[in-house]
Each structure stands twice: as C-alpha cells, then as structure tokens.
Amino acid sequence: MTKKRILISMLVLLLAGWSSAATGDEDGSRLWLRLDPAATTATITGVKGTAMTELQTYWQGGPIVLKRQKGMPQDGYTIKSQGGKTVIAASGDAGLLYGAYHLLRLQQTGQPCDALDISEQPAYDLRILNHWDNPNGTVERGFAGKSIFLNPDPARMQMYGRANASIGINGTVLNNVNAKPEALSTESLLKAKGIADQLRPYGIRVYLSINFASPMRLGGLKTADPMEADVVKWWRDKVDEIYKLIPDFGGFLVKANSEGEPGPQDFGRTHADGANMLAGVLRPHKGIVMWRAFVYNPQSSDRANQACEEFMPFDGKFADNVIIQIKNGPVDFQPREPYSPLFTAMKQTAMMVEFQITQEYLGAANHLVYLAPMWREFFSFVKPSSLRAMAGVANIGDNVNWCGHHFAQANWYAFGRLAWNPSLTSGQIAEEWLAQTFFAPNDNTPQACKTQILDVMLASHEACVSYMMPLGLHHIFAGNHHYGPEPWYKPAGVRADWTPPYYHKADATGLGFDRTLKGSANVRQYPDELCRLYNDINTCPENVLTWFHHVPWDHKMKSGRIFWDELCHKYDDGVHQARHFLAVWDALQPYVDGQRFGEVQRKLRIQARDAEWWRDACLLYFQTFSKRPIPQDMEHPVHNLDEMMQFRIRISNYENPACGYTK
C-alpha cells in the first residue's frame, strides 16, 4: 500500500465510523444503496468506467475482472466465479454496470458470492421513468417535494443515476406529459443536455415530453398540422438541434388530444398521422415516439371504452419507432382496475404499459402501498412478451428521502426490477428491497419481524383497495384531490366523468357501473373468454364486480353474505389491516434507526386513520341508497356523514397532504 492509499483507507474508515455513530438515525437519502464504502479497495481489473469505480468503492470481496464480450444481448451480463476471481462480462458498459450492481446486491443481502454462474438479460430494452415535472419545479401528482431537475444538484444526480442503474432503469423522461412548448426551447434543451451528461455514465438516456402545438406556440408557425411541410421541417430542425446537444437522446413522449392538450385531431389528422410524423424526424437519430393512449372525452357514455374506440382503427398504422403507451387500466390508475382491453385488442402495434409509481390514487406519500402485486396482477392478464417496453410515472422529488415515504422507495425499486424481469415475484422483490433498505445480513432483527413486515408489504395493496374501493369500485375520490373520499361529489356544471356518481352509480337498487353487453358493452373489448366471464354477474370476479355490474344490494356473494354486507366487511377489513400494519411496524422499533422508524410510524398512523375515513364516508354515503344496516359483527363507523361531507383538504396537485382526515 502506498502512503496515499493508507491515508485514504483511514479516512474511509473514519467516515464510516462517524456515519454509524452519529446517525443510528438515517434519513433515507441512500435509498436501498446503503453499503458503506469498503475498508480496503478491491482489485478490479478490466474495462474502466462506472462499473469499475462502483466496485472499487463498495466491493468487499475478492478480485473482479470486467470483460467486454461480443454477441451478448443488449444490457445483458454474465457473472462467473473463475479461479479465485469473479468475471463480469457484457457487450457494453451498461451491461457491466448492471452486473456490478448485481454483485453488490448479493453482497449487501448476504448471499454467497464464491460460486457464481449468473446470466441475465432484461425483458425490455426500454425501462423508462416518466417524470411529471413542470418547468417551475412543481411535480404533478408529486408527493415528495420539488423537481430534482429544477436545479440539478451533482451529488443528487449521481445518486439518481446509481439508484436507477442498480435496478436497470435506462431511460428518463424529464418533464410532465402535460408539456409546455418551452420544453423544447434552446434554454430547456441546454438544461436537458446537462442532465443527460450527468446520467450518461449510469447508462440512462433522457427523453422529453413535447407539446404537439410547439411549432405554433414556440416556433411561431400558423399551424401544427403534421401534414404541413413547414411543420415537419420545424420538427426536423428541432430534433437536429436536440441531437447535436444530446447525441444519445431517447425520443419524445406525447400526450395528444387528451384532457385539453393539443394534438393532430385539432388539425383534422389522426393519432397515427401525428405519431408517424414525429417518428419520421426521429428515425435518422434512432429516436422513438411514445404516444399515449390516455384519451377520453365527456361525450362518451363510458370513459372505459374510449381508448379502444379511438385507437383500434389505427392498429398496424403506426411507424415502427412509435410505441403506444397505455396505462395499465382503462380509466386512470385506480386502486384496482381490470387491465386495459387495448392491450389484447391491438395486434399489430408496438405497445408499452404505463404504470404509476407515484401514488396519485393510493394514499399519496402517506400510505404504505407496495405496488408490485398490482403490477404483477396486470401481467397475469397481459403477457409481458406482448409489450415492447415499460414506463413508470416516477414518485421522486427533492425530499431528503426521495419519495416522501420510506416505503414508497420500494415502488421505485420494484418498478425497475419488474421492467428488467416481469416474472420476479412481488415477494422476491420486497424481500431483497427490505434486506437492503432496512436490514443487514447479520443484524439482530428476529426473522419473525422480517417476515411480518414483508407480509405487510405484500398485503398492503389489497388492504388499500379494501378500505378505499373494494369490489370493483373506482374513482370515488374528492373533487379537488385524489386523496380522500367524496363519493357524493357532483356539483352542477362539472363534467359527469369527473364526478364519482358517474362511476359508482349508487341507487336504491344497487351499486356499480353496468358495463355488460346490456350496459355500456365495455366487456366486448375483452377477448371472448373474458368477455363471457365479466358479462355474467355470477362468474365475474368479485374484485371487479361493480366495475362491470350494477350489483343489487342483496346479490348473494361467494361468502354467503349479501353484497351490501360484503361491501361493509371489505371496508372494515381494510381498516383492521391498516391498524395491523402499524402494530407490525411498531414491533420493529428496536431494529430500525429512530428517524426512519418514527417517520414511517407517523405515516402508518395517518394511513390507519384515513382507512377509517374511507370506510365511514363510503359506507355511510352508500347506506343512504342501500337503506340497510351496517352488519352487527363489524366495527361501526365512528364518523358522521354530514361532518365528513363538510371536511375539505385544500391541496394542489403538487403536494402531499400533511395528514389525512382531521375531524
């Protein structure tokens, strides 16, 4: 060892010691990458780059060789133990980096690392975060502070790169799908270039959301008609400008003719016309267009029908570098939706799923809701191989702990892991996340506690569905936020499909939206077998029952209860589960640092109270239609409907409620 190296080692030791002594408390800023720098630098040889520096800093094992190897699949890697060394091989830097993080994960979770024979490749080439960040730094449906891209902090950008690379995410859309034309101004592009340069070492490409009317509103043209030559030229020039700054720029994400955003239909053109024009100017640079299918208009009698109605005519009409980006469900990121039938209807179009990592409809950054089970449920209906890529709306902000809720980090993590390999189970992912985030290989946390918190994660999405919208209920949120319940919200003048009664259709006879062949016929958009299953109230899975049926209050459920009683019990079960989560967490107090323990505990308490709010508001409101008693064998509502109807949370779309129901 040189003197210099000894000095550095001492410094590292000192820092590590200081950090564990001074903290005990952790702030969550290290996410799941909580390895302390290794005491001595391991011998890493071979390809220089981020993989090497990460291993040099954190690897605590024997020598590693980083090897470039032709013919391997993009981003794939092998890790093999060979003659006392560990060899990571890949065709390029990204694969080596993913291999390095794989190895570090094994080390951090205490797996044996001495007889490795690993071969990995991702299910999708494109694994992309969508940031809904606005130019002023607000984040739409962001519950963790301001945009990290507003004034990109180098250390923060580095950590963002490491975190994403460690789970295989290789693309990021920097701005909100409700995009301002200024997103393409030279000033913005220079900023994007700065970010791209910071993320490139971590294998991450940047993308931008664009406003379809940019040629007019930014370029001063008279039209944005995609068939007009100067519009196409404007786009071509703009794209050339971008690629000069960012040679590996990924492409555009487009929300067009949706919720007031401009699109080709404003100029008498189709989604295909618009998407293909952009695809054309991007093709020379190998850029892509991700064209969103999230469309609905107030005239349709069933919002759930509209993506298919608008997009099916263009199946097979899109250019090969266009991918249609479809939300997992046909409405909008509800706690539970059936899958969007567009996924199985379209046969000749490249598709990608858009999951929402940020919990817009799932308790924001206050509720512990682990989303992997929800995404896995989607994949049980939509074959992973039928998709070209995966996108996730990020839950990241400038909060110290990145996501507002320590457990929300698990959703970022799980999204990345599933985009790499959608056949990983929710439990596998949660277990490895917990092991890295809260525990250490040889810590003294009893196995029972670890199992219980794992069970909490796995049960949390279903619990949230139970206390918010069980049995297929959807979109009964408050008028001015998507956090609490207002199933009664229906002020005059608001378009019907923005009010809960449009969705729940409660009346004296029952509850739910008749989407059968006798109703809106939404079931017809599904493959025949599913169509028959959903169409019959006696075969329709009960977890989507009121999604597809207007269910009579006395409909007999599989439990033997009538529907009303079952609904009551579901809500009450959700409340009890939320309380149970708190109890499980509390038992972990001796084993989790004080800061994170307290912060999570505070959130779990909010969640337990909110669960009661949901149960009481929804049951008491629906009871005004069902005219039936709350079953005697469950806990009864403790709030009053009239008081809850007066209660308001005044928040914007850019913030997390400080707490939930406070009456």
Instruction: Kindly list the catalytic residues.
Output: 259, 332, 360
| Nearest one of 359, 365, 360, 358 to 603, comparing CA atoms | 365
Residue (273 or 565) nearer to a copy of itself, CB: 565
In degrees, to the nearest 5, what angle opens at C-alpha 515 toward C-alphas 391 and 544?
A: 60
Strand partners, 640: none
Residues 525-584 that bind a copy of itself (CB under 8 A): 579, 582-584
* Positions 604 through 623 that interact with a copy of itself (CB under 8 A): 605, 608-609, 612
Say which residues have a Cβ less than 8 Å from residue 75's Cβ, sequence separation at least 6: 90, 92, 94, 95, 98, 121, 122, 125, 168, 170, 203
Which residue carries 């208009």 as its tokens? 297
Q: How far apart are CA 526 and CA 522, in angstroms?
A: 8
Instruction: Report the residue number, 422 or 637, with the smaller CB distance to a copy of itself.
Output: 637
Cβ nearer to a copy of itself, comparing 380 with 632: 632
Q: Give the footprint of a copy of itself on residues 111-170 (CB under 8 A).
A: none
CB closer to a copy of itself, 181 vs 485: 485
> Toward a copy of itself, which CB reaches closer, 317 or 579?
579
* Residue with smaller CB distance to a copy of itself, 324 or 630: 630
Backbone angles phi, psi at 234, to 5 degrees: -55, -45
Q: Which one of 9-17, 91-99, 459-467, 639-647 is the stretch in contact with a copy of itself (CB under 8 A)?
A: 639-647
Residue 446 lies near a copy of itself (rule: CB under 8 A): no
Start-end of H helices in 109-228: 154-167, 186-199, 214-217
Query: Beta 64-68 vs 351-356: how paired, if at all?
Result: unpaired
Smallest distance from a copy of itself to CB 477, Å: 22
Candidate segments 188-196, 228-236, 320-328, 630-638, binder of a copy of itself by CB under 8 A? 630-638
DSSP state of 127: E
Instruction: State in angstroms the smallest separation of the CB of 590 from a copy of itself.
Output: 8
Cβ at position 607, least distance to a copy of itself in Å: 9
Q: With contact defined as beta carbons under 8 Å apart, do 327 and 294 qualify? A: yes
The verdict on 635 binding a copy of itself (CB under 8 A) reads: yes
Q: How far is the CB of 637 from a copy of itself (least distance, A)?
A: 7
Residue 296, number of CB atoms within 10 A of its CB: 20
Pick the stretch among 36-44, 51-59, 211-219, 628-636 that binds a copy of itself (CB under 8 A). Answer: 628-636
Residue 135 carries which side chain, given as an amino acid letter? P
Interface stretch with a copy of itself, choices 139-147, 540-548, 557-565, 624-632 (CB under 8 A): 624-632
Residue at token pair 């507002």: 404
20 Cβ contact partners less than 8 Å away, ≥ 6 residues apart: 36
- In the complex, the smallest distance separating the C-beta of residue 29 from a copy of itself, rounded to whole angstroms, is 23
Give me the least distance between CB of 645 and a copy of itself, in Å please: 14
Q: How far apart are CA 243 and CA 266, in angstroms?
A: 28
Rounded least distance, CB 604 to a copy of itself, Å: 8
Residue 632 interacting with a copy of itself (CB under 8 A): yes
Q: Is 186 exposed, middle or buried (0-12, 13-18, 19+ CB in 10 A)?
A: exposed
Kindly state the smallest distance separating residue 632's Cβ from a copy of itself, in Å.
Answer: 5
Tokens for 405, please give them. 């809720």
488-527 positions binding a copy of itself, by CB under 8 A: none
650: contact with a copy of itself by CB under 8 A: no
> Torsion angle of alpha carbons 258, 379, 288, 130, nearest 10°?
60
| 634 near a copy of itself, judged by CB under 8 A | yes
According to CB under 8 A, which one of 314, 637, 656, 657 is a site residue for a copy of itself?
637
Bridge-based pairing of strands 117-120 and 171-173 is unpaired
368 touching a copy of itself, by CB under 8 A: no
CA angle in degrees (0–180, nearest 5) for 392-424-361: 35
In the sheet that holds 44-46, the strands lie side by side as 44-46, 64-68, 85-90, 77-82, 117-120
- Cα–Cα distance measured from residue 246 to residue 238, given in angstroms and rounded to the nearest whole number: 12
Shortest distance, position 560 Cβ to a copy of itself, whole Å: 20
Residue number, 298 or 629, with CB nearest to a copy of itself: 629
447 binds a copy of itself (CB under 8 A): no
Q: Which is nearer to a copy of itself, 419 or 568 (CB)?
A: 568
Give least dist CB 447 to a copy of itself, A.
Answer: 15
Of 64-72, 81-89, 550-558, 638-646, the window that binds a copy of itself (rule: CB under 8 A) is 638-646
Q: Is there a contact between 75 and 96 (Cβ–Cβ < 8 Å)? A: no
Q: Segment 578-607, which members bind a copy of itself (CB under 8 A)?
A: 579, 582-584, 586-587, 589-590, 602, 605
Among 639, 645, 651, 653, binds a copy of itself (CB under 8 A): 639
210 neighbors 192 (Cβ within 8 angstroms): no
Size of the site for a copy of itself (CB under 8 A): 27
In angstroms, rounded to a whole number, what is the distance separating the alpha carbons of residues 513 and 79?
52
- Residue 80: count other Cβ atoms within 10 Å of its Cβ: 16
Looking at beta carbons only, is 23 or 589 nearer to a copy of itself? 589
If the CB atoms of residues 585 and 654 are measured against a copy of itself, the closer one turns out to be 585
| Cβ atoms within 10 Å, residue 127 | 26
The token pair at 222 is 């008279």
Footprint of a copy of itself (CB under 8 A): 579, 582-584, 586-587, 589-590, 602, 605, 608-609, 612, 629-630, 632, 634-640, 643, 659, 662-663
